[in-house]
Amino acid sequence: MSTSVLFETWPTAGRQNIAVATLNRPASLNGLTLEMCRSLSRQLARWEADSSIALIVLRGSGEKAFCAGGDIRELYSSVLANVGGRPWDNTLARQFFETEYRLDYAIHTCAKPVLCWGSGIVFGGGVGLMMGASHRVVTESTRFAMPEISIGIFPDVGGTWMLGRLADGIGMFLALTGAQLGAGDCRFLGLADYSIDSSKWTQLRHILDEQPWTDARRENDIRLDRALRTFESDPDGGVLPGPLQNHYTLIKGLCAGPDFDAICENLLSLTEHEDAWLRRAAMTFREGSPGSARLSFELLKRVRRMSLADAFRQEYTAVLQCMAMGDFPEGVRALLIDKDKSPRWNPRTLASASNDWAELFFTPSWPQGAGHPLADMEQRTHFAG
């Protein structure tokens, strides 16, 4: 039996139980594999249908990460093995992204409260798991980011939908720079609901075990909220403003609007800024994939009026193309395989990553006449409140 995800139930003082899923690959920062996504999807469905389960907890093993994203080495190998190069022929990639996106959507629409303990690294696919949880916790060690520009793809797992709903310019900045956010900025942007010291986990578990949980969703939401708030030092989460909050007005001014070239120039101007966090963000953008920058820009433009399901469908179309004709394999090679940190991006420059070039990524890659693989996504029952 695989131990990459551990499932358990905690008995409580009432007649209900708490279900817990622990990502259990600490040596890989709990990176998600296809097997893990399938296992989580199956178990989440069982727990959602189980009247004895009051709420669901998602957490990661080890102290370093909740989840650092998808297992990009696994995806990299699948791209190299796809000698024909056609997106749909990469069976692992199309199955992985379909399974992962369906899992993330199921968390968003789960009929029971979902508590995500987002301590440590929360990157990429980890953001996808955390974003849809009804009760999202960050800690003093949280490092939250969508760093896909450094490996030649874009903020997926519903990331475009999430970033597209932030204030104009803020989501674009995060997509193009992969900038890391701590607890303060996550709370400020509404990307987390509670900030709790990581040392309080054991105490929190005891409090949750003592609650008189019922089978009423709204009552359980309220009880969980009250329990989590008892560990916050003040109503604002007990955290100091982060660098994004400190530079919020500047970032909005630099990254808002429809002019891709102007946004790029503005970001490059920050490479000499006195603030180290802004300089690092600008350097990541400068060294990242120009194609990823353009594709992220186009995706965020299109997603603003989309439903979450439509955003996932758009991302699925684009990410399969990225596995075939984008910079993903070169980004992974330079970062993780050869570790030379000298990717040979194609397109090589921002100027050559044109709008017409990006349009290619919105071409369906599945067999002609077949429907979108995520066409039925909205058939899930949504929690109505």
Active site residues: 70, 125, 148, 156
- Check if the beta carbon of residue 96 is closer than 8 Å to that of residue 70: yes
Q: Write down how long the chain is.
A: 385
Q: How far, in Å, CA of 228 to CA of 162, rounded?
A: 23
Q: How far, in Å, CA of 135 to CA of 200, rounded?
A: 16
Burial 320-342 (b: 16+ CB within 10 A, else e): bbbbbebbbbbbbbbbeeeeeee
Q: Are strands 17-23 and 5-11 parallel, antiparallel or unpaired?
A: antiparallel
- Check if the beta carbon of residue 100 is closer than 8 Å to that of residue 128: yes
Q: What are phi and psi of 19, to 5 degrees?
A: -100, 135
- Check if the beta carbon of residue 265 is closer than 8 Å to that of residue 286: no
